[in-house]
Structure 1
Amino acid sequence: MSVVRIEHVYKDFKLGEQTVQALHDITCSFDPGVFLAISGPSGSGKTTLLNLIGCIDRPNKGKIYINDQDVSNMTENQLADLRSHSIGFIFQTFNLLPVLTAAENVEYPLLRRKDISADERKKRVKYFLDIVGLSDRANSRPNQLSGGQRQRVAIARALAVKPTIVLADEPTANLDKATGIEILRLMKQINRHLKTTFIFSTHDQKVIDQADRLVKIEDGYITAFGVRDAVEKTWNIARIRTLPEPPDDPLPELPHSQSTPLNPSSVARN
Structure 2
Amino acid sequence: MEVCRAGKEYVLGKQTVVALQDVSLTVSRGEFMALAGPSGSGKSTLLNLIGCIDTPSTGTIRIKGQDVSGRTADELADLRLNTLGFVFQTFNLLPVLSAWENVEFPLQQQRGVDKNTRQERVAHYLKVVGLERFAHHRPNELSGGQRQRVAIARALATHPGIVLADEPTANLDHRTGESILQLMKDLNREEGTTFIFSTHDRRVMEMADRVIELADGKITE
Measured in 1, the distance between the counterparts of 2:30 and 2:70 equals 26
2:183 alignment partner AA:
L
Match of 1:181? Answer: 178
Q: Secondary structure at the match of 1:111?
A: helix
**CA-to-aligned-CA distance 1:206-225 (integer Å, 9 cap, x gap):** 111111111000000000xx
Unaligned runs of 5+ in 1: 224-238, 240-270
Out of 136, 144, 155, the position equivalent to 2:141 is: 144
**CA-to-aligned-CA distance 1:132-181 (integer Å, 9 cap, x gap):** 01011000010111110000000000001100000000000000011001
Question: How many pairs are equivalent?
Answer: 221
| 1:46 CA displacement | 0.3
Match of 1:27? Answer: 24
Match of 2:198? Answer: 201
Match of 1:120? Answer: 117
Mapped pair 1:73 → 2:94: no
**Structure number with bigger Rg:** 1
| 1:97 CA displacement | 0.5
Measured in 2, the distance between the counterparts of 1:17 and 1:164 equals 40
TM-score for both structures, normalised by structure 1: 0.81
Q: Secondary structure at the match of 1:150?
A: helix
Match of 1:107? Answer: 104
Identical positions, percent: 58
Measured in 1, the distance between the counterparts of 2:29 and 2:110 equals 24
1:27 alignment partner AA:
S
| 1:28 CA displacement | 1.0
**CA-to-aligned-CA distance 1:108-146 (integer Å, 9 cap, x gap):** 111111210111111110010010010110000101111
- Divergent runs of 4+, >6 A: none
Match of 1:216? Answer: 213
Measured in 1, the distance between the counterparts of 2:55 and 2:191 equals 29
| 1:34 CA displacement | 0.4
| 1:7 CA displacement | 0.7
TM-score for both structures, normalised by structure 2: 0.99
Q: Secondary structure at the match of 2:100?
A: helix
| 1:58 CA displacement | 0.3
Larger relative contact order (CA 8 Å, sep ≥ 6): 2
| 1:92 CA displacement | 0.1
Measured in 1, the distance between the counterparts of 2:122 and 2:14 equals 47
1:14 alignment partner AA:
V
Out of 15, 20, 42, the position equivalent to 2:39 is: 42
* Structure 1 or 2: more helix by fraction: 2
Measured in 1, the distance between the counterparts of 2:171 and 2:13 equals 31
Measured in 2, the distance between the counterparts of 1:179 and 1:151 equals 10
